[in-house]
A and B are shown apart, each in its own frame.
Chain A
Amino acid sequence: MKKPPFSIDQAAYTNLLAGLNNLHFTEQKGNLSDFQLFTDDQWLADTAVIEQLTRSRGEWQVDLIFASIHNPLRFLKRHITANPCPKRAAQQGYYMRRLAAKDQRGTLTVSVAQLNLCAN
């Protein structure tokens, strides 16, 4: 049995065309300021990153600290993860730092296997 060819209902098609027509009236160009979000974070591309391990609520908390290389007083601290095992927390912090920091030679790689994730 051959499948009948796809067909669209006449009224639905007219509606669809009306929608296409409307696009030309409603869609307008955006402003450059809409990209503010990207320019705001641009400075993070030129930062030195260190990891910080602190004990908090019975776990080892991993934070990354980003400091601008042009102005060290401009810095940002972000909580990344927490782990009850200090060795694991250190390891995760190490790889997370390598992911976040500027890669000078462009040769560093991090694969998910290195993070030694355990599903348990």
Chain B
Amino acid sequence: MLTTKQRILNASVKLFNENGVDAVRLQQIAEEIGISVGNLAYHYKSKDTIVESVYEQVIDEFLHIFRQYLQRPELADFDQQLSLYYRFFKANQFFVADFFKAGITETDHTTAWQQAVNKMLAQLRSWLLFHQQRTVLRAETTPGYYEQLAQSVWMLLVFYPILCTMRGRPCDEITYKQAIWNHLKPHFTEQGLAEYRADVLPLLTY
């Protein structure tokens, strides 16, 4: 049984995704979970406090994914992180949409988000380096090449669900993962390809 506070946050995330953060009114949130606006006001004084709590929760979830970094050295380990990223970006698209606004003002959560994104990029870069050391990935042809690859993988991770929506194609976890692995595949060595076929491919074809 969720607490009312948690139910309010869940309903807010759902409505933010559907209508955008600015378009949601307190009345809608209250209706969504079937409580009165007065009751809602008891838990959260204003919409700003709800938005703040939602952002806090979202960033917490995001940071949780980072903690799964390289728990095992195999390629398949990254696949689990991909599942988490997929669920996260699918569930919190409003967060990304926020950054499309022109003239965005710097707030606490935008800074936190920026830091988290930089962390994510650093992790991806570090993950690529690790597998280069393991001779699963080829050595960099030009210095800084994997930096760029990390950035393009990052873009896929964040924007692939949106890309699918724009193209009118369905996006499920498997296609999401396939897109990312296919992006990485050309950089694998023979050993990497063998490991990919043995460990990762079975996870993508069920």
Residue ranges of A at the interface with B (Cβ–Cβ < 8 Å): 2, 4-5, 7-8, 10, 13-14, 17-18, 20-21, 24-25
Q: How far is the CB of A5 from chain B (nearest CB, A)?
A: 5
Residue numbers in A under 8 Å from B53 (CB-CB): none
Q: A25–B123 contact, CB under 8 A? A: no
Q: Which residues of A are found within 8 Å of B134, using beta-carbon distances?
A: 24
A18 to B127, CA, bound (A): 9
Within 8 A of A (CB), among B67-106: 69-70, 73
Whole-angstrom distance between the alpha carbons of A28 and B110 in the complex? 41
B122 pairs with A14, CB closer than 8 A: yes
Which residues of the other chain, A, contact B123 by a CB distance below 8 angstroms? Answer: 17
For the complex, would chain B's binding face be called helix, strand, loop or mixed by DSSP majority? helix
- The residue of chain B having its C-beta at the shortest distance from the C-beta of A14 within the complex is B122
Mark B residues whose CB is within 8 Å of A.
69-70, 73, 108, 111-112, 115, 118-119, 122-123, 125-126, 129-130, 133-134
Task: Give the complex CA separation of A7 and B119 in angstroms.
Answer: 10
Known contacts A10-B118, A13-B119: does B112 contact A21 (CB below 8 Å)?
Answer: no
Alpha-carbon distance between A21 and B134 when the two chains are bound, in angstroms: 10
Q: Which 10 A-B pairs have the closest CB atoms?
A: A17-B126, A24-B73, A21-B130, A7-B115, A14-B122, A5-B112, A13-B122, A20-B70, A10-B118, A13-B119
Q: Supply 5 further A-B pairs (C-beta < 8 A) apart from A18-B126, A18-B129.
A: A5-B111, A8-B119, A10-B118, A21-B130, A24-B134
Bound-state CA distance A32–B73 (Å) is 23
Whole-angstrom CA separation of A2 from B112 in the bound complex: 14
| Known A21-B133, A24-B73: A14·B115 in contact at CB below 8 Å | no
